[in-house]
Each structure stands twice: as C-alpha cells, then as structure tokens.
Chain A
Amino acid sequence: MITLNINKKIYNVDADPDMPLLWVLRDVIGLVGTKYGCGVAQCGACTVHVNGQAMRSCVTKASFAQGKKVVTIEGLSAQNDHPLQKAWLELDVSQCGYCQAGQIMSAAVLLKEKKEPTDQDISDAMAGNICRCGTYLRIRDAIHLAAKQAPKK
C-alpha cells in the first residue's frame, strides 16, 4: 500500500512502489490529465509538481512521491484560473492539446522561480516539453502574459 498526497487529497493505493507516478495517476487513481508521451523523460507531457518541483512522473517512482505533496494539472488551481491557464485560453494556445498540461505544469514552476522570465529563461525552462503541433510561439507569449497578469504579492 502506498499513501500519496495528490492535489491535497490522500490516496491509499494498492500499487507496486516501483510503478512510475504517471501510471499510478492514470491507471490506478484515474487522474488522466497527466499524459504519457515517451516514458523516458524526453517529452515533458507527464510533468507534475512534487514538493513544488517540476518532475517527469514517467520516471518518478510512486515510492519517491510518498510523503510528498504532489500536484497535477487537475489540482493546479481551484477553478481553472491559474494565470497560466487563463493566459492559455486568452491566447488560444492549444492545437491538439495533448502536451499542454505538461507545458503548463513546467511553466508554473518557472513562474514561481522567476516572476518576470526573459525569453532565454523560457527557452531554458521549457526545453524539455515537446509540442508536436508547434504551438511554441503561443506558449512563450502565454507565459509572458501570465507573468504580467499574475497577482503581485
């Protein structure tokens, strides 16, 4: 049995502790917002937050996530109103949409670390997230927009 804290909810799952968090989320718990793209941490579609860090859940064991706070796209905001989600909608970023949850999760950590990321910051932080449809320009613009519109603390 593994106990996981996902999106502020406790789940007790009967799963192999070596099962990647990606498959625990998708197949065992039923949270399918986190996507399978490559299984080898090359595409970023599986990005989640583990104690605030962006991690590729396809290579993160469930046992590693035990005792830590996991946030998935479903829990990024209470009402789909994270500045990034709003910016994504305002700029109509998505084409097929499959990579976008992972893109947003990676970008969310960038924005926590850098309130006003430069183009280079964005290039560096987002290099691990592939978009096969090529919406990179809009992703970049949406990150800038979200940074501008984020509530100032």
Chain B
Amino acid sequence: MEKNTQNRRAFLKTSALLGGGLMIHFSGVAKLALEDKSDGLKALDQWTEINGYIKITKDNIIKIFNPNPEFGQNVMTSLPMIIAEELDVDWKKVVVEMGPHDSVKLGPQFTGGSNSVRMYWKPLREAGAAARRMLIEAAAKSWSVPVEEITTKTGILYHEKSKRNGKYGDFASLAVGIPVPKELKLKSVKDFNVIRTSQKNVEGTKIVSGKPLFGLDYKHEGMLIAMIHHPPGFGMKLKSFDASQSLKMPGIKDVFTLKLYEDGFAQGGFDTRTFNDLLVVVGKTTWDVMNARKKLVVEWASAGDVKDTMAGRGENREVIVPGELENTDAQYKKMLEYAQKPAQQLRKDGDPDAAFKNAAKIIERTYTAPFLAHNCMEPMNFFAHVTDEKALFVGPLQAPGWTEPTLAKILKLPPDKIEIQMTRMGGGFGRRAYGHYLVEAGLISKRAKAPIKLVYSREDDTTYGIYRPMYTATYRAALDENKNLIAFHVKGGGIPEHAIHPNRFPAGAIDNYLAEGWQIPSNITIGAFRAPRSNFNAAAEQSFLDELAEAMGKDPIDFRLELLRKAKVKPVGKNNEYDADRYAGVLNLVKEKSGWAGASDKKFSRGVAAYFCHNSYAAHVVDMILKDGEPYVERVFSAIDCGIVINPDAASNMVQGAVVDGIGNALYGGLTHKDGVVEQNNFHKYRIIRMHEAPKKVEVHFIKNDLDPTGLGEPPFPPVFGAVANALYKASGQRHYQQPFTLEAIKKQAV
C-alpha cells in the first residue's frame, strides 16, 4: 500500500467514485500536544491527507483502524473503542484492523511510555465525533431537514419528525463531501456506553486458534531466512571468519559481513545498537541457518575503546564506548567505589547537611539491582524486502516513526518509498522501541537481493543487550530525638546511568531533602525497560520508607499518608511531580480493600508499596508465605488511579500481569557477565516466573474518577518490587537489599 500523498480534494473524488464509503482522516500531529491542558471543545482546523480511522460500507459495516502497535496492552481494542463511542456504533459489529504506518494521518503511532490511550484520547474522540457529525449533515442534506433534528443510535440516523431513518452506510459517500466540522460536541462521560465497558480482545479468537499474527509468522513469496552471528560478549568484535563449511550445508545461500552504521553516523535515542559489524548467514529455513551458524569458524577480538557519534540538538557529540570486558563482581565493587565519590546534585531543599549533623539518629541503607533482559516471548525479528526503488518492512516494532529516518538515511530511500507494516508483537516492554533489527534486516535484504526475514534466536536475543541498567542507591534519613523525620537523602548511581527521579515523592514532603546521581560508562547497551528508572527507584525507596516507618514506630501506610498530607498542605520546594491527593487515594483504597487495618490473616506476611509514574498512581499490598523456605506471593491487592478506564476487564488483566512481572523480576530476574559474556543466555539459566510461582489471586481496584485517562502499562509495575521486598522482610525476618531476592541469590551477594 503506497502512502497517500494526494490532496484531500482529489481523494474525496476517488473515494466517492469507488462508492466504497467514507474514509475519515484526522490530521493528528498538531492535535497530539501532550501539554495541551485546555478545557472544553477543541475545533479541528486541518484535514489534509486521507487514510484515516474509519471506513463505512454501504451495508453499514464499520471498520475502525487501530493506529498504535499492539504488544499485549490491548490498544487494538481500547483505541477503536474510543472512536466507536463518539461515532455511536454498535461495538459488537465493529471490525478492527491494524492501521498502516503513516504518522501524518494516524498520529505518532508509538507504543511506549504508557502513552497510547493518553495521547490518543482526545484525537480519537474528535475523529469519531467528526465522522458522526458529517454523517448527520449528510442525512440532513439528503432529507432536507435541519441538522439539529437528526439523532443517531448505534449506526442509524433518525429524523423523528418525519419518521425517517437510514444507515450510516447509506450516507457515507455523501458525507465525504461535507466540510470538516469547525466545532465538535463530544459526549458527556456519563453517556458513555462503550468506554467503561469490558470488551473482549478483538484478536482473541485468532490468538487461541493459531492464526498468523506475529512478525515471526509473516511469510512472503521467495523469502529467505537470515541470522546474524554476533560476538559472544560486549566489548568484542569480529576479527576473522571461515564460512567454507557453512556454505556447503543444505539450504544455505550466502555468508557475508556488513557494517550497520558507517563511521560518524549520528545515532538518535532509539538507534541504539550493540554490535556494528554483522556476520550474516542466509538460507532457506531457520533450521538450515541455525545449523550453518554452528559450522562457522570465527575469531573474535577485543574491540577496545570505540568512538560512537550521538546526534544532539544542533551539534553531534562523540562518546567513547569503553572496551573493557566486564565482570559482574567487579561491577558491584566499582559501584560501591563510585558511591563514595562526589555526585551531581539533582535537587536540594532546605539544609540537609545541617539536619544530618544535628540528627539524633541516622538510618542509611544501600540497595542494588542487576541488569535485566526484556525476554519478550517472541524474539527479535523483522522482514525486509529492499530494492533500489523502495522497501517493504513487516514485523514487530513499537515505534516505526523513530526508525524510519534511520532507514531512509542508510538505505538511501525517501521515507515515502519505505513502507513499515506493524504486526502484533509477542511482547515489547521497551525492547522493540530500538529498531536496529530493521536496519539490519534492510541491509541484509539489499545485499542478498532478496526478501529476507531476520531472526534472532533466544540466545541472540538475551545476549544482545539494550538491557535495563544495573543500579544502586543509598538512602539516608535523619531523625530527631522525637523520631521525627527531619532530612532525607538519596544518592543513586548505575551502570551506565542512575535511576533517580528527584522530584518524585517523598520530595515535597520533607523539609531537608537532597537527591544526587552518578553513572559509570559501559559498553553494555541499555534502554527503556517497563517503567525505566522507576522500576528500580520504587523498589529501593519503598523498601526504605518501610524501614523508616518501623524505626519511627509507625504503620507503613499511615506513615506515607502523613508525608502526603504534608506534601499537600505545606509542600516543600518546586516541581513536585505528583498529586498528593491521588497518591493518598490509592493508598487508602488498597488499605481498605486488603483489610490492612483489620485482624490480619496470620498465614500471610504482608508488604505494601505505592508509586507514581507515567502519570498514574498505583499501590499494592502483597501477601506472601514461605513455601519450603522459598518466598511465594499467594495473593495481591492492587489499587490504581489512571483516570477513566476504557476497558475495565482488560485493564485488570494488565495490572495482574504487571504484578506477576514485578514479582518475577524482583525475586528471580537478572543477568550477570563474565568477561563481557552474558551468563544466562536462555530460560534454563535466566529464571522467569512460572505458573506455580505466580499468585492465584490479584484483586484489582480502580479509583473511579472522570479524569482523562493516563497510563497503565507501566505504573502498576514499579511498586510491586517494593511491596515484595517489604513482605519478604516480614516473611524471613530479614531486610533484603539486593535484587533478585531469591534466597540463593542472596547467598551469592557480592556486596
């Protein structure tokens, strides 16, 4: 499908001629200002090109296009629901399709930062409302009646006075000629009858029946399989190779090397790549290529320090990627060393120095967490067919718009000759925001002069990099002689960056506050991992607050509520990044629903934690037991404030999943390195939480308010780690400061 660059007028003619019906487009880019805080009606002022969200046939079949790539957060259902609501159609009859990549017509189309529903909320409502308005005007015109006398109900237009009605499909072609409405009336929240109802996953049937859905399932005529034989570890590069054996093997077409980025290529934020020299094997089937790789005779060498160019605003900057072959034990020791050095001040309120000097008691604790691999169930892969004139890409990717410019530069093709089709993704978690594997696939296809599917084995995927960084943070609290909290200090660091969010709670609640950060550069590539930084921050901070509460003789929830009251009534400093009322709201809700204050079930060890990130609030109470000495979370109570919940049951599923994910990573997750090589390259070594380790019940409660929806993919995740740590303290009698928390890992603590 070619990108449509015709002007609107020309398209309108075409569309009417085809007699197919109405294609509504919404020029989303200008309207997706995330900082837009204006209330009331917002008029559309620009309908340029058409591709659009809505298609209506003469038979009144409504097709709605999902703009955002799907990786399990179910936007494929919830985003079309938003359109269907304002369009006023029967959801049961709506057909949903994945939209093409066209950010001019369908908006930013990136899945990440828990932003899909939040950024598309208003534009999709407007798109649905605009379409409905145009259909009303078309009917009014056709029936020669005033527009105000027309009503709609689930896909039918009515004129009560003359007892006439007609299907949307009857007027779709006529509606195409109606000028785009200048003013739109959006539905009142209380009138919603699609949003706020639980609707089934639109691809549910396809999933349970094994239909081709994922990138790895995509097939194309004449397609070959390619795999890259990456170096075994970070800091290494290809020295020489002998492919003579491999080339003799069945199904093998070619073995060659390629360079990913030319020297001096300025990388953007999502151009991260671990290895630049690619040793590629191309063959007929995946098995053929996997076998041929085993017969490669390769010499690897230390890459030494490498210069990379990073794109900047105005000027590019050069960075040195250190050549050291890293070892985890040494990394922990280095972090301890760096923690003693001066760091960058991120925020200071009051006089923390003085407060600590005058403290009656100081509590200091240090927390650490390892690198984490994303471990998407579907390993990295992408299909590419590149010729001198154009390129087709098909596969799993979170943000086609972020990689397309790089593809255009490297393949030397104009963006409108590059088509990226987004398949369903077998998990994302941030890993698939980095499109290096599209660039790799594109270059391989160009070189092989064939359509190819680039496949990463599980080992390739786990050892490649772009991990959640390794982190540490030292928290200090000063208490006066009456056990009042008078100062709070967090100094965080990491490899290669720290996790500190200086303006998050408890900043704003404490008179004397200091936040500092430091980092240690590394050749281990890192990137966004479900709730970046927060996923460690919440664990450490919420553990520390628990210890503080205990030292002060306070209940952990009441202690947090006290601090939040202070942050509300007499906030300290500026830019406090949370709403104290909403934060307290989720704590109060989880306190109520978990029966926190009541007679405790002696069977369980309880831990609580709460956090704010990606514009939403989450609190969990975790109920843990020890099963044969191993921690097991049997049930969890969760309270979430994410504004209006589009699809309640699906949203519950997301929270439950985030809870399981958090427990698994807190208790078991982590990578270690030995001389640059990852030691856990598949699931027999990298432990992922399984059925018997997952809670049997996660009771999810949403705060009921009418606020515009905010994120849900990430916010429930970070506080789970803290709640697990706090429950583990109750269960084992010991505080745990190093993730993963499993007892065997604790025995191996390097610190």
Instruction: Answer yes or no: do A and B interact.
Output: yes
Taking CB atoms, residues of chain A closer than 8 Å to B378 are 35, 37, 96, 98
Taking CB atoms, residues of chain A closer than 8 Å to B589 are none
Given the complex of chains A and B, what is the CA–CA distance between A128 and B691 in angstroms? 8
Chain B residues 647 to 701 lying within 8 A of chain A, measured CB to CB, are 649-650, 653-654, 656-661, 664, 682-684, 688-692, 694-698
Query: Quick one: given A85-B208, A132-B375, are A95 and B657 in contact (CB under 8 Å)?
Result: yes
Interface of A is mostly: loop
Judge whether A95 and B205 touch: CB under 8 Å. Answer: no
Min Cβ gap A61→B in Å is 11
Judge whether A122 and B691 touch: CB under 8 Å. Answer: yes
Chain B residues 187 to 241 lying within 8 A of chain A, measured CB to CB, are 198, 200-201, 203-205, 207-214, 216-217, 219, 225
Which of the listed residues A37, A74, A98 has the most CB atoms from chain B within 10 Å of its own CB? Answer: A98
Chain B residues 27 to 53 lying within 8 A of chain A, measured CB to CB, are none
- A: interface residue count bin: 35 or more
Q: Which of B68-76, B534-542, B568-576 contacts A (4 or more CB under 8 A)?
A: B68-76
* 22 CB < 8 A contacts A-B: A16-B287, A27-B284, A32-B212, A35-B214, A35-B377, A35-B378, A35-B426, A37-B377, A40-B458, A40-B683, A45-B377, A92-B198, A95-B73, A96-B425, A97-B72, A99-B426, A100-B208, A101-B207, A123-B692, A126-B692, A139-B691, A140-B696
14 more CB-based (< 8 A) A-B contacts, given A42-B684, A80-B205, A88-B208: A28-B285, A32-B210, A34-B210, A35-B214, A35-B426, A37-B378, A43-B683, A85-B209, A89-B204, A97-B203, A119-B696, A131-B660, A135-B653, A137-B697
Min Cβ gap B623→A in Å is 14
Given the complex of chains A and B, what is the CA–CA distance between A98 and B214 in angstroms? 8
Q: Is B366 an interface residue (CB 8 A)?
A: no
0 or 1 for each of A89-107: is its CB under 8 Å from B? (1 = yes): 1001111111111001000
Contact of A89 among B208, B375, B377 (CB under 8 A): B208
Contact of B692 among A38, A97, A124, A137 (CB under 8 A): A124
Taking CB atoms, residues of chain A closer than 8 Å to B74 are 95
The 3 tightest CB contacts between A and B, nearest first, are A33-B210, A134-B660, A98-B426
Number of B residues, CB within 8 Å of A: 65
Judge whether B250 and A16 touch: CB under 8 Å. Answer: yes
Given the complex of chains A and B, what is the CA–CA distance between A38 and B209 in angstroms? 21
Given the complex of chains A and B, what is the CA–CA distance between A136 and B692 in angstroms? 9
Taking CB atoms, residues of chain B closer than 8 Å to A30 are 219
Query: Quick one: given A23-B287, A98-B378, A134-B658, are A74 and B688 in contact (CB under 8 Å)?
Result: no
Contact of A97 among B426, B654, B695, B696 (CB under 8 A): B426
Judge whether B660 and A136 touch: CB under 8 Å. Answer: yes
Which of the listed residues A26, A31, A132 has the most CB atoms from chain B within 10 Å of its own CB? Answer: A132
Given the complex of chains A and B, what is the CA–CA distance between A68 and B260 in angstroms? 46
Min Cβ gap B114→A in Å is 15
Chain A residues 108 to 152 lying within 8 A of chain B, measured CB to CB, are 119, 122-124, 126-140
Taking CB atoms, residues of chain A closer than 8 Å to B212 are 32
Taking CB atoms, residues of chain B closer than 8 Å to A42 are 682-684
Q: Is B561 an interface residue (CB 8 A)?
A: no
0 or 1 for each of B361-396: is its CB under 8 Å from A? (1 = yes): 000000000000001111100000000000000000
Judge whether A95 and B654 touch: CB under 8 Å. Answer: yes
Query: Quick one: given A92-B201, A132-B375, are A36 and B216 in contact (CB under 8 Å)?
Result: yes
Given the complex of chains A and B, what is the CA–CA distance between A78 and B720 in angstroms? 42
Q: Is B133 an interface residue (CB 8 A)?
A: no
Taking CB atoms, residues of chain B closer than 8 Å to A138 are 653, 656
Q: Is B286 an interface residue (CB 8 A)?
A: yes
Q: Is B457 an interface residue (CB 8 A)?
A: yes
Taking CB atoms, residues of chain B closer than 8 Å to A80 are 205, 208-209
Q: Is B132 an interface residue (CB 8 A)?
A: no
Q: Is B424 an interface residue (CB 8 A)?
A: yes
Contact of A96 among B375, B427, B691, B698 (CB under 8 A): B427
Contact of A132 among B198, B290, B376, B692 (CB under 8 A): B376
